Structure 1
Amino acid sequence: MPLIFRPLGTLLLSATLGLALTACGGSEASGPEVPAGFTVGYGVKTYSFGWNASANATRYELFEDPDGAVGPQPEVQIGGTIGSTSYAHSVASQLLHERVNASYRVRACDASGCGAWTAALVPDLAKAIGYFKASNSGETEGYGASVALSADGSTLAVGAPGEASKAIGVEGAQADNSVPGAGAVYVFTRSASGWRQQAYLKASNTRTIPIPAPYPASMGRALFGTSVSLSADGNTLAVGAPGEASNARGINGDQNNTQAPGAGAVYVFQRTGDTTWAQQAYVKADNTVAATTYRLDVQGYYYLNSAHFGSGVSLSADGRQLAVIAPRASEEALSAGSPTVFARAAYVFSLQDAAWRQQAYVSTPHASGFGSAWNVDSSIAMAADGRTVALRSWPDEDLLVLANDGGTWKQQARLPLPGVRMRGFVVPSTALAADGNTLAVSTADSALVFVRNQGAWTEQAALRPSARRDEYLTLALSNDGNTLAVSTWADASGATGIQGDRADTSVPDAGAVHLYQRSSAAWTQRAYLKASNTNQGDRFGRSVALSGDGRTLAVGATGEDSKATSIQGDQSDNSSADITPGMEPYSSYGAVYLY
């Protein structure tokens, strides 16, 4: 028999392959048999793996091949040594799109070694999307009109400005529906055991607001929950109620009178002991009108001198600085037969010696005309240190950047924005990174990103998630400014979940969120996100929030139609579809999704 010679490299390769097969459960594997019945269940950003016991097995090993949106990654063991036939694996530390195509396999082991692997299992990522509903879900409540996340993503606040309970304060009776448009906020928290609703918050002066004839009672909605903002630790929460009716001024004034419907208020809540919420302050403008002036116009019913203070709120990271916008502040007396002259105004408050005080009032240029609160810009953003604030001017729609210079608030920059149009219920959006040096703002067809260097602002990127100019854009930034969520809540794709078909146009106003990430100065789209139960008119993306660490994304869909309650309920129910089409933000029950 002739001798056969092989190159040394070939021999080494053969040996390496043999070792690899043994290590990965190939033909040379020893140990118990392959576990049967390898399955996966789902929770909020959680997989629950299970399998049948293998004879004589003393432990199990579960491995993840995390190949995600950024490309191949090495397989890793998760869960350490597992002594049971199940394991709950949380992916809370990543955005869900980072686990696209991730696969899992398990093997049984005993004292002699480990057996062969199960076949790789690829979970349905869409089933791990969090689905949050109100505990008292009801029609036309606009649940999801506003959302906020703590820095680590473990606290979520959701506003429902159309909620109708007459409850007052914290944990009141939820079943009553006698005060439409009173509004509510729901607080959810994540722990090792999963997500749960922690609090149900109402205004301290929930009541029916009398409106004089012939004006409709709907003008008396307080709309508590129109805007929400959380401190970094999630322990301080600001809630805006732009329809609130007291004519009080300053902090903790008389909240019981109803002389000024639409004046607006902000309520500050504090959490202590990680679980207990209480109202800390009732905040009003220092120039609240003494009484609301009404006018009947051919286009509808309007308040004329109601500021809608609280339409937008933003807290600093430590929860001790608060920025509030009043998009329709009136600075001139009403002339008979003439429109009121309006000024979009920003108020800054500071918590000093356990008491809130107004620190600054900044008015933007005047504009005349009529219109409802939903037709004006109510977005305001504050940097983490509370020393930079961004908002829009009116009527030119420039972007104003205000900076605290030695205790005095001054205009640092005025950035012209191309293509801004006020359309229907569009509320343009503004977002700031924690250091205040990255600023994102929506226009008619794009999200513009500006960066600040030594006090000078320049445009870094113009991101256009859609070819349409009539998309409605809402924005959120991570603390480092490197992750940007841009919603297009008129998106018409019928896709569900993650990385679906963007070209589809079969489901009008379903909504979508586009996730961008920055490396150096370059922005790249990383994900195209849809609801797990996409339906027409859901307006997924009506609100968006990113955790400070950029690892959790919350998305509100005020038109979502399921009657489910609480967390991970029945998404398939669509029985309340299109209750009041076009009535943003109160078109249906609403939902919030977590990625």
Structure 2
Amino acid sequence: MAGRAAAILGMLVLAHVAAAQFTQQGGKLVGSGAVGPAHQGYSVALSAHGNTAIVTGYGDDAFAGAAWVFTRGEGVWSQEGSKLVGADATGVARFGKSVAVSADGNTAIVSGPYDDANTGAAWLFTRSNGVWSQQGSKLVGTGAVGNAEQGWSAAISADGATAIVGGAFDNSNTGAAWVYTLAGGVWSQQGGKLVGTGAAGGAAQGYSVAISADGNTAILGGVADNSFAGAVWVFTRSAGVWSQQGGKLVGSDAVGAAFQGYSVAVSADGNTAIVGGYGDNATTGAAWVFTRSAGVWSQQGSKLVGSDAAGDAAQGWSVAISANGNAAAVGGPSDNFNAGAAWLYTRSAGAWSQQGGKLAGTGAVGAANQGAVAISADGTTVIAGGSYDDAKAGAAWVFVTPGCAPPVIAVQPQGRTILSGETATLSVTAAGTPALTYQWYQGDAGDTSAPVGADASTFTTPPLIATTSFWVRVSNACGAADSAAATITLGRRARRHLRRAT
């Protein structure tokens, strides 16, 4: 029954996404503390639930670069902490060329391909109680040939324990990618660099990278392959060893030098990939979808081209895909004289179709070049970055499905009395636009010391030796609701009174 209910919920989520046009949520996001024209929005990332966004600006502080974190609470976005910068960068790193974030939003990777005279590097950051800090030293892969510009692209697995970093200019533009894994709080390179076979010329592999939720499938885009026709390569990991899966992938209906592989994204299970090629058809641009079945990849349908573009939009400059692979976003920064826009697509029964009109954020100043995109796991939240907004200060815009109902708690968690050392199971019933997420906290309503693993509608406490209260926050893309506190009281064991025989 649980599997059937999950499947029905998934279909309802997809139906909701497919039936509704996205609308902008709040004003544009601009991080504080920028120095000079920061180009905020050059790269963007969203956590799985869509409540944490990272916006980078590689131009900050004379191209040293920076990243800004924003969080959403009850439908309102606010900056979380100060801007992030790599503590051990060497020279003008252009930190923020690429960014990715784990599913829970607590681990981020930010790259800087110009670090140390174009050697390039990537940095990891983690969040604890709302505070971000760098995790270890910058990552620089071994085996590079020449100035690889490692960090031209970067991606991270859902659990934040596997990262991939592309170096598009390694070995005279052959390109490569490096994989890193986390163990005991320390990152280390896993195996040698990845280079796909079958390239035609200097393909610039690693110009874009993507990785599946479990970290076992990686996609490398090679934008310059075959005189900029472009291609992508797939690698899989088994027992810690990486190997290429099949030949390179090239969309079949490209027109001219399409630059396929300029951007890539992959679904959580690694079975659906989307590939952007902004040069297709004289920079009209397009995106291609590929699916995997029994280890074999094939193109799914025709290329995706937004129907309402204004001019040569360069669609495919950026792409993103939902966790289940049924919703995708495609950015085109050159649309409408460089105002930029994003297009949303959904898949039903293996067929892709455009969802509503293109998205363009309001409040832009000048030609913003809105074109960097990311999408939440459930496909209900999209962020678009425009790095040229307001004289290159840059900004980002968030879009959500309209008519989104914030959570409403129908049945509150109930307190009870237990014996010392026992556990108690609490539950909450809530309504609202799916998908709903849950987080339980210990203490009175408003306290935020979260019990480990308490992220479902039902929560079993640890063994209690004192009276304790718990409450839950239920969230979705458009808001949150906090329950009342449920107090678990400790009672005394009943005593048996024996009458002495006379």
Aligned partners of 2:108 and 2:305: how far apart in 1? 32
Deviation at 1:594, TM superposition (A): 0.3
Deviation at 1:309, TM superposition (A): 0.2
Cα deviation, 1:480-502, whole Å, max 9, x if unaligned, reads: 1111111122111xxxxxxxxxx
Moved more, 134-143 or 413-422: 413-422
Aligned partners of 2:383 and 2:69: how far apart in 1? 13
Deviation at 1:202, TM superposition (A): 0.7
Aligned partners of 1:408 and 1:438: how far apart in 2? 22
Are the equivalent residues in 1 in contact too, given 2:18–2:346 (CA < 8 A)? Answer: no
**Residue 489, structure 1, aligned to residue 330, structure 2:** no
In the alignment, which residue of structure 1 is the partner of 2:208?
379
Deviation at 1:533, TM superposition (A): 3.2
Count of residue correspondences: 365
**Residue 326, structure 1, aligned to residue 326, structure 2:** no
Q: What does residue range 130-209 of structure 1 map to in structure 2 within 5 Å?
A: 130-137=27-34, 139-164=36-61, 180-192=62-74, 194-199=76-81, 200-206=83-89, 209=91
Deviation at 1:549, TM superposition (A): 1.6
Gaps of 5+ in 1: 1-72, 74-93, 101-124, 165-179, 210-220, 246-260, 290-304, 331-340, 493-507, 562-575, 577-587
Deviation at 1:456, TM superposition (A): 1.1
Q: What does residue range 361-376 of structure 1 map to in structure 2 within 5 Å?
A: 361-364=193-196
One of 102, 115, 119 as aligned partner of 1:244: 115
Change (3 A) 1:423 1:539: farther
User: AA paired with 2:194?
Assistant: V
**Residue 589, structure 1, aligned to residue 393, structure 2:** yes
Q: Let me know the Cα RMSD of the aligned residues.
A: 2.9
User: AA paired with 1:402?
Assistant: F
Aligned partners of 1:276 and 1:535: how far apart in 2? 31
In the alignment, which residue of structure 2 is the partner of 1:399?
232
In the alignment, which residue of structure 2 is the partner of 1:232?
103
TM-score by length of 1: 0.57
| Other structure's SS at 2:20 match | helix
In the alignment, which residue of structure 2 is the partner of 1:516?
345
Aligned partners of 2:236 and 2:206: how far apart in 1? 20
Q: What does residue range 45-84 of structure 1 map to in structure 2 within 5 Å?
A: none
4+ runs deviating over 4 angstroms: 94-97, 365-369, 420-424, 466-470
One of 288, 310, 313 as aligned partner of 1:448: 288
Aligned partners of 1:284 and 1:190: how far apart in 2? 33
| Other structure's SS at 2:290 match | strand
One of 356, 360, 363 as aligned partner of 1:533: 363
Aligned partners of 2:208 and 2:322: how far apart in 1? 17
| Other structure's SS at 2:169 match | strand
In the alignment, which residue of structure 1 is the partner of 2:128?
272
Aligned partners of 1:240 and 1:329: how far apart in 2? 16
Deviation at 1:559, TM superposition (A): 1.2
| Other structure's SS at 2:176 match | strand
Cα deviation, 1:249-272, whole Å, max 9, x if unaligned, reads: xxxxxxxxxxxx110111101111
| Other structure's SS at 1:529 match | coil
Aligned partners of 1:513 and 1:353: how far apart in 2? 40
In the alignment, which residue of structure 2 is the partner of 1:457?
297
Deviation at 1:98, TM superposition (A): 2.8
Aligned partners of 2:175 and 2:314: how far apart in 1? 24
Deviation at 1:195, TM superposition (A): 2.2
Are the equivalent residues in 2 in contact too, given 1:95–1:552 (CA < 8 A)? Answer: no
**Residue 549, structure 1, aligned to residue 378, structure 2:** yes
Higher Cα Rg: structure 1 or 2?
A: 1
Change (3 A) 1:368 1:514: closer
Aligned partners of 1:196 and 1:96: how far apart in 2? 28
TM-score by length of 2: 0.67
Q: What does residue range 306-317 of structure 1 map to in structure 2 within 5 Å?
A: 306-317=147-158
Q: What does residue range 560-571 of structure 1 map to in structure 2 within 5 Å?
A: 560-561=389-390
In the alignment, which residue of structure 2 is the partner of 1:408?
241
Aligned partners of 1:263 and 1:357: how far apart in 2? 18
User: AA paired with 1:451?
Assistant: T
Change (3 A) 1:408 1:377: closer
The alignment-based identity, stated in percent, is 33
User: AA paired with 2:396?
Assistant: V
Aligned partners of 1:194 and 1:234: how far apart in 2? 17
Deviation at 1:97, TM superposition (A): 8.7
Deviation at 1:205, TM superposition (A): 2.4
Gaps of 5+ in 2: 1-11, 400-502
In the alignment, which residue of structure 2 is the partner of 1:432?
266
